Structure 1
Amino acid sequence: MKALLLENIHPTAVDVLESAGYDVEQHPGSLSGPDLLAALDGVSLLGIRSNSSVTAEVIQGAHDLEALGCFCIGTNQVDLTAAAARALPVFNAPYSNSRSVVELVIGEIIALARRLMEKTERMHAGVWDKSAKGSHEVRGRTLGIVGYGNIGTQLSNVAEALGMRVAFYDIADRPIHGNARRCNSLDELLGIADVISLHVDGRPGNAGMFGEEQFAKMKPRAMFINASRGMVVDDVALRAHIESGHIAGAALDVFPVEPKAQGDTFESVLRGLDNVILTPHVGASTQEAQEEIGWFVAGKLVGYVREGSTGLSVNLPNVQLPPRTSGSRLGVLHHNVPGVLAQLNTLLGQDGRNLTAQSLATAGEYGYVLSDLEGPVGDDLVRSVLAVPGAMTARIVG
């Protein structure tokens, strides 16, 4: 059994996979296209971060691949539709790096409000510039959060603890934390916030959601932070509003185009601007977050192989049964059409199998069912299950 980990995934993932019996190969950089496909020969489990692209062609050609882990939050670098059609579950780490991103954003808010970048640059240049001009406390200021999910809500709580007022806007109906205020529109939020911080996902509909129109509606001398996705923001429009003085400062951790490898040249229209913090996509780059991500995603991959669990998979129905103590477990992915479960159970009954546990979930086009059976299960039963109309794949788990 072989696993391939790309992009310097934390050693915790290696420990988890090796403990499960996998021979782990590591590659420090990203791979895509033909290079990735060639590297997947004989590989059962693949782990990537944000820079590797797993296309439909790669998925269809990687015949040995059983599961894929994105050791990050985003999964837009994977063709999830193609993976689901091949019964290939994709897992990510939706919660593991939330605190690290929140702490980065809080640090940036304070650094921008105090204009610390300019102060430290002048000190390094030998200039003593002790002045309160342009420097402000964050206490009492209004933080406007766009996207009130895992990160947005944690940021809300920490910002309130610093004495900030919090308002948020989200297209989903999110519960309010603390004393935060819900805004009914993005325009409403832009009109009241002293700091705007973006925390939206990478779905195609979010591309270009923040541009000239939105920057123009922000309060004069407000600050702007993007630690979500680079394609969400029009950086050219942002530069224009910083140069005009309308935006007092900005911090960006993500960009529309990012270098693929360590040490590559970074190009951006935002380079060289005063009171602008640019960081190389390091929101989740703390030892604590990377260790937690490594443990979490590797555990999901092993859980799928050993127990058939698709809990928190982003592209297949989520099904999870307690670990088996005896007997056999059968996992079946099928088209989401009526009658498949009834036919499956009829088949199992005809085979004389006693069913000890079963769980089914459906989502979109697919259904997934795990069945625990007394005694061993052979390939003959798997072949019979695959003959059931609607069945796509069947495997003996573990």
Structure 2
Amino acid sequence: MSKEQAATPVTSLARSSSFTAFHPKVLKPFNSGEIKILLLENVNQCGIDLLAKEGFQVEVHKKALSEEVLIEKIRDAHAIGIRSKTMLTKKVLREAKKLLVIGCFCIGTNQVDLEVAAKQGIAVFNSPFSNSRSVAELVIAEIISLSRHLGDRNIELHQGMWNKVSSQCYEIRGKTLGIVGYGHIGSQLSVLAEAMGMTVYFHDVVQIMPLGTAKQVNTLYELLERSDFITLHVPETEETRYMIGEEEITRMKKGSYLINASRGKIVQIPSLIKALQSGHLLGAAIDVFPKEPASNGQNFNDEMNSWTSDLLACKNVILTPHIGGSTEEAQYMIGLEVGAALVKYISYGTSNGAVNFPEVDLRAIQATENSIRLLFCHHNVPGVLKEINEILADHNVEKQYTDSRGDIAYMMADISSVDEHDIRKIYESVSSNRANILTRIVY
């Protein structure tokens, strides 16, 4: 390998044929210019620029693709970047023969079959906190707007109706905010709410040190009964799906408000509508829905969700089209964070931050002529590391680290003093191991 070649990151990879659904794939070494990245759904320009700067071939689409087109495009992609509308299902991923990594340029990863991706040696990255401030600020705006009925007054005035009233309009100072889920967003919101004079309580499944004077309560019901405003900031899981239903809403204080900026299936909307119609709740703000349109336009109707018309008819209800994280600042930070994760994984094998994959990293690889980094994703079965170390026994392994996550394990090793013959032998021996899912060598 020449000095000129060594200056450009080069990688080899081999996928296992141990799954009958996948064909063995062995690629000759390729440089960064041969890496193909597919970016969908209007990923922020800073992410595009970051990946293009690395020399990768970047194909950009402003919208999500149909499943048929997506399958065609993903067959040649080494990486794909998506937001919330693209569904990377088992059917799609089975066609992704070259895919190394998926970047979700958003918080959630529900749109990706994480288990299937892991079994194919495909790491998935997201941006768990880059839009935290944007969501927190939206919730503060909604709390104030609901307290003052700003949504209804705005609509009325646009229709030419002057309706100056103060009945059931309140300051938020001195009111109690209950936060369900005290993660990145919940904790940011806590600080903002306290600064505006609110008392903050929160409920979370784990014990968390609160910020400021916020207090953690033991049960969800206790939170519901104490709070003037309830805001939801939890992921969608089996435990949280439809966690706010008729019983929970009944437990909320009469005249309180519900805000959902987390996931669409956290709240049973028909129960919410019933509480709004009866006057038990004075208002609600909903940014996420069980079913959401795949594109902008006149798509929010009863065909999408059968209760839409009833919800639209309720007073003091703020409805927004999943825009909690839709700010220029949030999208910029997401573009940088996820784009950097893709670069690090493709070029160096770093999997820190992966949501479906063992998190492994070593300090930077030394760009010398006779050193390589071996990346070995494999089934987590006994005896494999012994077999791999026997292959590497005659070589100088400078650094090595391995970790596992469920059925998947991932090893990273830096090896020096190897020539082209050694590299080929290591590559062929490791990639033919009985537990191999994906073997890569970068140098």
What root-mean-square deviation, in Å, do the aligned CA atoms of Structure 1 and Structure 2 show?
A: 1.5
Q: Is 1:53 aligned to 2:87, yes or no?
A: yes
Partner residue, 1:157: 191
CA distance in 2, matches of 1:240, 1:11: 43
Partner residue, 2:383: 339
1:252 to partner: Cα distance: 0.6
Is the 8 Å Cα contact of residues 33 and 55 (structure 1) preserved in structure 2?
no
Q: Is 1:14 aligned to 2:66, yes or no?
A: no
Partner residue, 1:97: 131
2:413 maps to a residue whose letter is: S
Q: Is 1:126 aligned to 2:123, yes or no?
A: no
Partner residue, 2:119: 85
Segment of structure 1 superposing worse, 97-106 or 168-177: 168-177
Q: Is 1:383 aligned to 2:428, yes or no?
A: yes
Q: Secondary structure at the match of 1:262?
A: coil
Any idea what the Cα deviations from partners look like across 1:69-103, whole Å, max 9, x if unmatched? 11101101100000000000000000111000000
Is the 8 Å Cα contact of residues 76 and 203 (structure 1) preserved in structure 2?
no
Partner residue, 2:212: 178
1:211 to partner: Cα distance: 1.0
Segment of structure 1 superposing worse, 148-157 or 33-42: 33-42
Segment of structure 1 superposing worse, 89-98 or 57-66: 57-66
Find the partner of 1:28 among 62, 67, 80.
62
Tell me: higher relative CO, structure 1 or 2? Use CA pairs within 8 A at least 6 residues apart.
Answer: 2
Find the partner of 1:67 among 101, 110, 116.
101
Partner residue, 1:393: 438
1:90 maps to a residue whose letter is: V
Partner residue, 2:407: 365
Q: What is the TM-score when the length of structure 2 is the normalising length?
A: 0.86
Is the 8 Å Cα contact of residues 97 and 293 (structure 1) preserved in structure 2?
yes
Q: Secondary structure at the match of 1:284?
A: coil
Partner residue, 1:290: 331
Is the 8 Å Cα contact of residues 13 and 295 (structure 1) preserved in structure 2?
yes
2:389 maps to a residue whose letter is: N
CA distance in 1, matches of 2:97, 2:434: 24
Q: Secondary structure at the match of 1:177?
A: coil
CA distance in 2, matches of 1:73, 1:234: 22
1:224 maps to a residue whose letter is: L
Any idea what the Cα deviations from partners look like across 1:316-373, whole Å, max 9, x if unmatched? 0001112212321000112223433333223211xx3111112222221122111001
1:317 maps to a residue whose letter is: P
Partner residue, 1:353: 395
1:66 maps to a residue whose letter is: L
1:32 to partner: Cα distance: 5.0
Q: Secondary structure at the match of 1:144?
A: strand
Find the partner of 2:173 among 116, 139, 147.
139
Q: Secondary structure at the match of 1:231?
A: coil
Q: What is the TM-score when the length of structure 1 is the normalising length?
A: 0.96
1:322 maps to a residue whose letter is: R
CA distance in 2, matches of 1:195, 1:249: 10
Q: Secondary structure at the match of 1:145?
A: strand
Partner residue, 2:22: none
1:369 maps to a residue whose letter is: M
2:409 maps to a residue whose letter is: G
1:287 maps to a residue whose letter is: E
Counting aligned pairs with the same residue, the percent is 44
Q: Secondary structure at the match of 1:232?
A: coil
Find the partner of 2:349 among 308, 317, 324.
308
1:297 maps to a residue whose letter is: V
Is the 8 Å Cα contact of residues 285 and 319 (structure 2) preserved in structure 1?
yes
CA distance in 1, matches of 2:313, 2:335: 35
Is the 8 Å Cα contact of residues 41 and 63 (structure 2) preserved in structure 1?
yes
CA distance in 1, matches of 2:102, 2:427: 24
Is the 8 Å Cα contact of residues 75 and 95 (structure 2) preserved in structure 1?
no
Q: Is 1:107 aligned to 2:152, yes or no?
A: no
CA distance in 2, matches of 1:64, 1:339: 28
Is the 8 Å Cα contact of residues 340 and 391 (structure 1) preserved in structure 2?
no
1:146 maps to a residue whose letter is: V
1:289 to partner: Cα distance: 0.3
CA distance in 1, matches of 2:125, 2:142: 30
Q: Secondary structure at the match of 2:376?
A: strand
Any idea what the Cα deviations from partners look like across 1:128-166, whole Å, max 9, x if unmatched? 333321111111111111111111111111111111111
Is the 8 Å Cα contact of residues 32 and 53 (structure 1) preserved in structure 2?
no
Q: Secondary structure at the match of 1:167?
A: strand
Q: Secondary structure at the match of 2:248?
A: helix
CA distance in 2, matches of 1:262, 1:124: 23
Is the 8 Å Cα contact of residues 32 and 54 (structure 1) preserved in structure 2?
no
Partner residue, 2:229: 195
1:95 maps to a residue whose letter is: F
1:389 to partner: Cα distance: 4.4
Q: Secondary structure at the match of 2:312?
A: coil
CA distance in 2, matches of 1:273, 1:26: 41
Is the 8 Å Cα contact of residues 245 and 267 (structure 2) preserved in structure 1?
yes
Q: Secondary structure at the match of 1:316?
A: coil
Segment of structure 1 superposing worse, 284-293 or 180-189: 180-189
